Amino acid sequence: MKCLLELYRIDTLDPLKRALDHGHHDIVEVICKEMDPELSLPWAAQHRELEAIKQIYHHRRDADMWEFLQAVMAAISSGNFEIVKFLNETCGEDLYQRGTNHKDCCPLTRAIECGHVELVKYLYANGYKATSFEIAFSAAVSYGPLELVELFCGDERCSAASINQGFVVAAGAGQLANMKCLQLKQEFDDSMLAEAFKRAAGCGQTEVVEHLYSERDQISTSAFEEAAIVAGGGGHLSVLKLLDGKNPISDELAVKVFLSAAKDKGLRCSDIDDQVGVLEFLHAKGCIASDVIVKVFPEAAGSSSVDVMEFLYTTASIPSYVVDEAFENASYDNCVEVVEFLYKTGGVFAKTIEETFMVSARDEDMYFVECLYNCGCVSRELLEKASQSAETTSLFHLFLSRTRDNEALKKAFA
C-alpha cells in the first residue's frame, strides 16, 4: 500500500473514507501521511474524523498553518468539540498568527455565529490571541444568546465605546433582549439611540424600531426622517408603515423616501424586502408627481430590480430619451432582466444599442455582449462591425464563433 501511494498521487478521498469506515488504522495513517493536507484536512474536519486529523497533524505538521485554521473553522461549523480542542491545543498560538482579525477567519466568531455556546466558552478561555475583541463582541450581540453577551460584557476589554457600538449592532440584528441587557450596563445618550434607531429601521427590524420609538423624546426629527429614508431604500414596508402610523410622513419626506427606494439606497445589512410595495405605498399618498418618477428613472435603471423599473415605467409617462438614458445605465451597471425590459419598451435608440454593444465587445464584457445579443437587439450587421474592430484572439471572436455554430445547428434541425 505504501509503495503504491508513493508511486501514484492520491487525488480522491475515497480510499481514506473506506479505510476509516472499515477501521483500517494502519492504512489511514499511510494515506494521511502521503495525501495533500489541503485536500484531506477540510474533508476530515467536515466529516468529524478526529483519527484522520490526528494522523495528518502527526505526519504533515509542516503544512501551511492556514490549512489547519480552515480545518478548525470547518469543525466549529459542524460543532465538533473534540477536533477543535485537539487542533487548538496542538497547534497552539501558531494557529492564530494570521487572518483572525477578520470575522470570516476567526474561530471564536464562527462559534458564536453557529450558536455553539460550549465551543464559544472554550475558545474564549483557551483561544490564545484568537481574535479582535471588538469583532467577537459584535458577533455576540448580533447572534446571542444573552449568556454570551453577559460573558463578554464582563471582559476587562469591554469599554463604554464597545457597549455603544454593540448597542447599534444589536439593533440592526433585531436582538432586542441583548439591547435591553446593554441598556442595563450603561445609559445611552440621544446620539446613540438615534444611531440604533436608524440602524434598526434600515435593517427592517420592526420590533426594535417600535421599542426605541417608545423613547421618542430622544429620537429627533432628523433621526426619524433618516430612519424612514433608509427603511424605504431597503424596501422595509412594515417599518415604513409603523413610522407613518407613529408620525405621519410629510409629502416632502415621502418624496425623499420614494427616491431612496427607487434607487435601492438601503443599508446592506439585510435582503431587500419589498421595494415595489414601498413605492406603491408612497405613491398612493398622492404626493409623488410624474416628473419625480421621470427624473429618477435613469438612475434607478443602474441599480434597481426589473420589478421596480416596470412599476416606474407603468406609473408615469416616460419619454423615449429617458428610456434611452436608462438603457445605457442598465447596460453598464445592472442585470440582463432590466436591460431586456428597457429594450422591449421600444424607447431605446438604435445608435445607443450600437454604441453600447461596440463598447462591450471592445472591452470583452461578455456578460453584456451576451445580454444584448439574447435580447434580440443586435443585428447581423452589428455583429460583423464589432468583429472587425475586435482582436481575432479576443473572447468576442470566441463568442461570435459559438453563435455562428449555434445558428448553423438550428438551420440543420429546422
Is residue 273 assigned to a domain? yes
What integer best gives the mean pLDDT of the chain?
Answer: 87
Q: Please tell me which residue, 80 or 375, carries the higher pLDDT value.
A: 80
Smallest CA-to-CA distance from 318 within 334, 336, 342 is with 342
pLDDT band with cut points at 50, 70 and 90 for residue 314: very high
Q: How confident is the model at residue 413 (pLDDT cuts 50, 70, 90)?
A: very low
Q: Residue 65: inside a domain, yes or no? A: no
Residue 248 lies in a domain: yes
pLDDT of residue 398: 82
Secondary structure letter of residue 316 according to DSSP = S
8 A C-beta contact, residue 79 and residue 53? no
Q: Is 92 exposed, middle or buried (0-12, 13-18, 19+ CB in 10 A)?
A: exposed
Please give the pLDDT value at position 62. 81
Which domain covers residue 225, as residue numbers?
189-288
Contact 200, 212 (CB under 8 A): yes
Q: Which amino acid is at 106?
A: C
Report yes or no on 232 lying in a domain.
yes
Residue whose C-alpha cell reads 446593554 in the numeric block: 182
- Sign of the dihedral defined by the CA atoms of residues 41, 42, 45, 46, in that order: negative
Return the HEC string of 317-356. CCCHHHHHHHHHHHHHHCCHHHHHHHHHCCCCCHHHHHHH
Asked whether residue 322 is domain-assigned, the answer is: no
Q: Residue 372: pLDDT above 90?
A: no
* Cα 36 versus chain centre, distance: 31
Among 121-130, 321-330, 342-351, the range scoring the smallest mean pLDDT is 121-130
Helix, strand, or coil (residue 273): coil
In a domain, 171, yes or no: no
DSSP tag of 96: G
Structural domain tally of the chain? 1
pLDDT surpassing 50 at residue 414: no
What is the pLDDT averaged over residues 222-251? 96
> pLDDT of 13-43, one tens digit each?
777 888 888 887 888 888 888 788 888 898 8
In degrees, rounded to 5, the angle at the alpha carbon of residue 238 between the alpha carbons of residues 214 and 145 is: 65
